[in-house]
């Protein structure tokens, strides 16, 4: 038993009955849609055509929303239906990033994720989904793909079908018969002309993109529904604070390993405190970004082990625990356990900094995030953030209490910062000059370098956040104190700003290309 849909666009007349019947059956709130009809137009008068595309969850065989969901709120039934359980959902919105088809939304009343679930509550009773029943043209065919005698199987066997974004390797179980392929490919559409009988929600990111890639436009979208970009500043901020936390520990461990003469206060005390403080902020941001923050503990107590939100959550927990014990051991002078704990801590810190690469890779809808450079780049960013953070602490302390820090520690941190900044530059170049063929990735890069994210990227991440601190640190090497220290302090602040700007650019631009 494997349920799937065929949408037969030889029959579909674009009447929206499916949308309304679905809203009625499932009481879907205004502004949210489990199924909707897109209109696209092509050609010049009088050879103008209009195509419809009924869009919804594809009930993927290989459903990325199920893989990324940390709490098994999304799950696949034995009959192939990808269903959800609102009682479990914590509102992390990761599923919205994982789905390459814009199928999910957050219900504003329950603050939990929902989508087409094939009317599983009806299927359970032997009834067709509401959209199938209402359709005047019987253009929506729901049935068992495993049964060769079913109508759906015979249609798939006898007609040419398409699926949306086969390259996402989700193995959709929704097959389209005869619609314009441009109607299924958001990157070939432009919304700039406005809609036939509805307003467009303002979307400067889309507008900018469409203006830049006019040449790739094959169709004019004349009716569509709006989809939010689910992750905002809190996610960028969480990446940033996590970098500081992990980086502070890694940098301290490196320092302590390299030399016995390093400043004990800075690396044994301040660094773990910084790590723990930023870890706390990271956790707070993570929780606050949930639409159901009170259900946060479900990540730990109802884990779905394939989700990097779960693995990440445990990583953060473990990292926090190890750092706390390591710090505690210093205070209580239990030196014996400190070295092994430190190395365990380094591994966990690296995981803390880097696990997001695996999480963002699970966001299959967002092609830009799916790059092999993300993991090492996140590590490099955490090294910048750690060094810069500790430099600020060290110099801040010197300024406050007037006692200068010994040069060895400062030099170590300064060189470490310089090296990481240079590596950061290399990785950014790697991300932006990659030869990836994917159109989504190509577009995202252009939006960063020439489009709506250019200002934040070029000014924030590159000029102020990368070039300026490199120049400042380099300058400090040749200048006397206290000018050198001030330059390094400035460079530290700018580096942190630069890391945040890049991470924010990366998160925002990664969501820029429309999924549907």
Partner 1 sequence: MTLIDDDNPEELASQTLSNYPPVDQWEDWVEYDAKRWPEKVERHYSLVPTVCFNCEAACGLLAYVDKATGEIQKLEGNPLHPASRGRNCAKGPATINQVKDPERILYPLKRTGERGEGKWERTTWNEVLETLAQKIRTALKENRRTEVMYHVGRPGQDGYMDRVLQAWGVDGHNSHTNICSSSARLGYALWQGADRPSPDYANAKFMLLLSAHLETGHYFNPHAQRIIDAKMNGAKLAVVDPRLSNTASMADWWLSPWPGTEAAMLLAMARIILDEKLFDAEFVKRWVNWEEFLKIERPSLPCTFDTFIDELRILYSQFTPEFAADECGVEADKIVAIAREIGAAGSAFAAHIWRSAASGNLGGWQVARALMLLHVLTGSIGTKGGVSPNTWDKFVPAPHSKPQPQDVWSEVLWPIEYPLAHHEMSFLLPHLLKEGRGKVAAYFTRVYNPVWTNPDGMSWIEMLKDESRIELHAALTPVWSETALYADYILPMGLGPERHDLMSQETQASQWISFRQPVTRVARENKGEHIEFTYESNPGEVWEEDEFWIELSWRIDPDGELGIRRHFESPYRPGEKISVTEYYKWIFENSVPGLPEAAAKSGLAPLEYMRKHGAYMVKSGIYEQNEHSIPAHEREGSSVGTEGLVYADSPDGKKTIGLMMESEALRGFPTPSRKLEFYSKTMAEWKWPEHAIPGYVKSHVYWRDLDLGSGDFLLVPTFRLPTLIHTRSANAKWLYEISHTNPLWMNPVDAEKNGVENAQLVRVKTEIGYFVIRVWLTEGIRPGVVACSHHMGRWRVRQGEGTNRWASALVEIESLGKQKWRLRQLEGVAPFSSSDPDSNLLWWREAGVHQNLAFPVHPDPVSGMHCWHQRVRIVKTQDDDRYGDVMVDTNLSHQIYRQWLGKTRRAPGPDGLRRPLWFSRPVRPTRSAFNKE
Candidate list 51, 236, 263, 508; residue touching partner 1; CB under 8 A: 51
**Is 259 an interacting residue with respect to partner 1 (CB under 8 A)?**
no
Contacts of 54 (CB under 8 A, 6+ apart): 7, 9, 12, 18, 35, 36, 37, 139, 140
Measured from the CB atom, is 112 or 352 closer to partner 1? 112
Residue 143 near partner 1 by CB under 8 A: yes
- Adjacent-strand bridge partners of 7: 140, 176
- Using CB under 8 A as the binding rule, whether residue 464 contacts partner 1 is answered as no
Nearest-approach distance from CB 45 to partner 1, in angstroms:
5
Strands 140-144, 3-8: pairing is antiparallel
Q: Is 146 in the site for partner 1 (CB under 8 A)?
A: no
119 makes contact with partner 1 (CB under 8 A): yes
Q: How far is the CB of 301 from partner 1 (least distance, A)?
A: 19
Neighbours of 459 (CB within 10 A): 12
Q: Does 142 bind partner 1 (CB under 8 A)?
A: yes
Stretch that binds partner 1, among 167-175, 193-201, 205-213, 481-489 (CB under 8 A): 193-201
Q: Min. distance of Cβ 163 from partner 1 in angstroms?
A: 22
Residue 176's SS3 state is strand
Backbone φ/ψ region at 303: left (φ over 0), alpha (ψ -120 to 50), beta = beta
Binding to partner 1 in span 76-115, by CB under 8 A:
83, 85, 87, 108-109
Alpha-carbon distance 369 to 359, whole Å? 9
For residue 369, what is the DSSP state? G
**DSSP letter at 119?**
T
Stretch that binds partner 1, among 24-32, 388-396, 443-451, 508-516 (CB under 8 A): 24-32
Shortest Cβ 197–partner 1 spacing (Å): 4
What token pair was written down for 331? 């205070």
Report the distance separating Cα 420 and Cα 386, nearest Å.
Answer: 10
**How many residues lie near partner 1 (CB under 8 A)?**
68
DSSP lists the bridge partners of residue 223 as 39
CA distances from 344 to 256, 275, 357, 470 (A): 14, 15, 20, 31
Q: How far apart are CA 425 and CA 499, in angstroms?
A: 11
State the residue for tokens 């750092």: 323
Applying CB under 8 A, does 402 fall inside the site for partner 1? no
From 2, 25, 218, 404, residue interacting with partner 1 (rule: CB under 8 A): 25
* Residue span binding partner 1 (CB under 8 A) among the ranges 98-106, 137-145, 208-216, 253-261: 137-145
Using CB under 8 A, list all residues that contact partner 1: 10-11, 13-17, 19-21, 23-27, 29-31, 41, 43-46, 48-52, 83, 85, 87, 108-109, 117, 119-128, 130, 132-138, 142-144, 147, 149-151, 193-194, 196-199, 201, 220, 222
């Amino acid at each position: 038993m494997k349920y799937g849909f065929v949408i037969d666009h030889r029959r579909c007349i674009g009447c929206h009955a499916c949308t309304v019947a679905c809203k009625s059956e499932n009481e879907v709130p205004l502004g949210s849609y489990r199924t909707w009809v897109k209109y696209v137009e092509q050609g010049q008068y009088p050879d103008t055509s209009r195509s419809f595309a009924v869009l919804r969850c594809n009930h993927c065989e290989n459903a990325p929303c199920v893989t990324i969901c940390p709490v098994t709120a999304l799950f696949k039934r034995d009959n192939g239906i990808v269903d959800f359980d609102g009682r479990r959902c914590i509102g992390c919105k990761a599923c919205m990033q994982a789905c390459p088809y814009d199928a999910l939304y957050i219900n504003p009343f329950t603050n939990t994720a929902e989508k087409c679930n094939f009317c599983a509550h009806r299927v359970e009773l032997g009834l067709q989904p509401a959209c199938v029943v209402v359709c005047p043209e019987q253009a929506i065919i729901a049935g068992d793909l495993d049964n060769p005698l079913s109508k759906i199987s015979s249609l798939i066997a006898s007609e040419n079908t398409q699926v949306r974004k086969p390259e996402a390797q989700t193995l959709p179980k929704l097959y389209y018969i005869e619609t314009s392929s441009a109607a299924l490919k958001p990157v070939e559409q432009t919304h700039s002309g406005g809609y036939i009988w509805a307003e467009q929600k303002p979307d400067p990111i889309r507008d900018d993109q469409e203006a830049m890639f006019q040449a790739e436009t094959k169709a004019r979208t004349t009716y569509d529904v709006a989809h939010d970009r689910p992750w905002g500043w809190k996610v960028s901020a969480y990446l940033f604070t996590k970098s500081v936390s992990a980086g502070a520990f890694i940098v301290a461990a490196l320092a302590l390993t390299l030399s016995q003469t390093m400043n004990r206060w800075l690396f044994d005390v301040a660094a773990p405190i910084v790590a723990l403080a930023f870890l706390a902020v990271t956790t707070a941001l993570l929780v606050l970004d949930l639409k159901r923050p009170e259900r946060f503990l479900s990540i730990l107590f109802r884990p779905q082990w394939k989700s990097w939100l779960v693995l990440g959550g445990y990583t953060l927990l473990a990292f926090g625990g190890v750092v706390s014990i390591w710090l505690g051991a210093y205070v209580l002078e239990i030196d014996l356990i400190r070295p092994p704990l430190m190395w365990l801590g380094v591994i966990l810190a690296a995981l803390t900094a880097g696990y997001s690469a695996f999480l963002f890779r699970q966001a299959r809808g967002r092609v830009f995030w799916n790059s092999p450079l993300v993991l090492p780049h996140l590590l490099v960013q955490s090294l910048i953030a750690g060094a810069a953070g500790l430099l600020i602490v060290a110099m801040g302390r010197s300024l406050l209490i007037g006692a200068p820090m010994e040069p060895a520690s400062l030099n170590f941190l300064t060189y470490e910062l310089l090296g990481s900044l240079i590596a950061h530059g290399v990785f950014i170049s790697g991300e932006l000059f990659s030869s990836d063929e994917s159109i989504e990735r190509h577009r995202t890069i252009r939006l960063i370098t020439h489009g709506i994210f250019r200002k934040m990227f070029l000014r924030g991440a590159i000029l102020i956040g990368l070039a300026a601190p490199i120049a400042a640190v380099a300058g400090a090497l040749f200048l006397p104190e206290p000018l050198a220290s001030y330059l390094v302090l400035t460079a530290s602040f700018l580096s942190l700003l630069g890391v945040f700007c890049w991470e924010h650019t990366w998160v925002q631009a990664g969501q820029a290309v429309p999924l549907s």
